[in-house]
Amino acid sequence: MTKVIPLYTKALILTLKLASLGIIFSIIIGLLCNILLSKENKILTKIIHGYIELSRNTPLLIQLFFLYYGLTKFGIKLSETTCAIIGLSFLGGSYMSEALRAGIEAVHNNQIESGLSLGMNKWQLFRYVILPQAISVSIPLIGANAIFLLKETSVVGIIAIKELMNVTKSLIGIYYKTYESLLMLIVFYLIVLLPMSILLTLLERRLRYAEHGN
């Protein structure tokens, strides 16, 4: 048991690293999608909707296989880690984009018009009217997506990344330590996922309170 703990700690750190990079890039992609959508260019909108539907309606596993094995023959050779991060960002980007859009759409039009009639410029309008209201809707969704992405990292082990699932599988295969490995697997996932989901529940409650306030 004590021998495998360092292995799992290392795997957990790798999992967290992949997840946090994936989450950050997903948010960036989500922001970018929303900025481009707000341009109301027909072709751009079509492309972005196409991307969102494509990434939401296909499994991460297939996306990873396609990236990792499919593209190699065209001279695009990506390392496992890069592949995992691209895969997670490709998947998460659409979810984050929807989460951010839900926030922006929750701001009523008359709020924006009132702001404009007060003589606010675009930046002020965004900073003082849209952002504070949008955040109370978006943050819980972003949090839920972050947890979702962290859970999805369990899939990337299939392209030979030594994260928690991969380590567990090799421990079961090599040493037949089934119980210990499965137990450690659950414990290590719970260490991060449990506090995250409790925090999200608390945050949701708080923000819902803020929402009712206005």
Partner 1 sequence: MQNTGINLIFEGQNLARILQGLLITARVAFISIFISLILGFIFGLIYSSKNKIIRFFCRLYLELFRIIPILVWLFIFYFGFPELLDINIDGEVVALIVFIMWGIAETGDIARGALESLPKHQRESGMAIGLNKIQLYRYILLPQAFRRILPGTINLATRMIKTTSLIVMVGVMDVVKIGQQIIESNVLKVPDASFWIYGLIFFLYFIICYPLSKYAKTLENKWNK
CB-count exposure of residue 65 (10 Å: 0-12, 13-18, 19+): middle
Q: Which is nearer to partner 1, 111 or 154 (CB)?
A: 154
**What radius of gyration, in Å, describes the C-alpha atoms of the chain?**
21
The residue range among 26-34, 108-116, 120-128, 162-170 that interacts with partner 1, by the rule CB under 8 A, is: 162-170
The residue range among 4-12, 107-115, 135-143, 161-169 that interacts with partner 1, by the rule CB under 8 A, is: 161-169
Give the span between the Cα atoms of 25 and 85, in whole angstroms. Answer: 8
Nearest to 82 by CA among 27, 22, 23: 22
The pattern of x and - marking residues 83 through 122 that bind partner 1 according to CB under 8 A reads ----------------------------------------
Judged by CB under 8 A, the residue of 19, 152, 161, 167 near partner 1 is: 152
> From the CB of 109, what's the least distance to partner 1, in Å?
17
CB-count exposure of residue 172 (10 Å: 0-12, 13-18, 19+): middle
- CA-to-CA dists, residue 204 to 135, 200, 207, angstroms: 11, 6, 5
The angle, 0 to 180 degrees and rounded to 10, between the axes of the packed helices 5-38 and 164-175 is 150
Judged by CB under 8 A, the residue of 158, 162, 204, 207 near partner 1 is: 158
The pattern of x and - marking residues 179 through 208 that bind partner 1 according to CB under 8 A reads x--x--xx--xx--xx--x-----------
Buried b (16+ CB within 10 A) or exposed e, 175-192: eebeebbeebbeebbeeb
Q: Is 175 in the site for partner 1 (CB under 8 A)?
A: no
How many residues of this chain interact with partner 1, rule: CB under 8 A? 36
Q: Is 57 in the site for partner 1 (CB under 8 A)?
A: yes
Q: Is 174 in the site for partner 1 (CB under 8 A)?
A: no
Q: Is 62 in the site for partner 1 (CB under 8 A)?
A: yes
Q: Is 114 in contact with 65 (CB distance < 8 Å)?
A: no
Q: Which residues bind partner 1 (CB under 8 A)?
A: 53-54, 56-59, 61-63, 65-66, 69-74, 151-152, 154-155, 158, 165, 168-169, 172, 178-179, 182, 185-186, 189-190, 193-194, 197
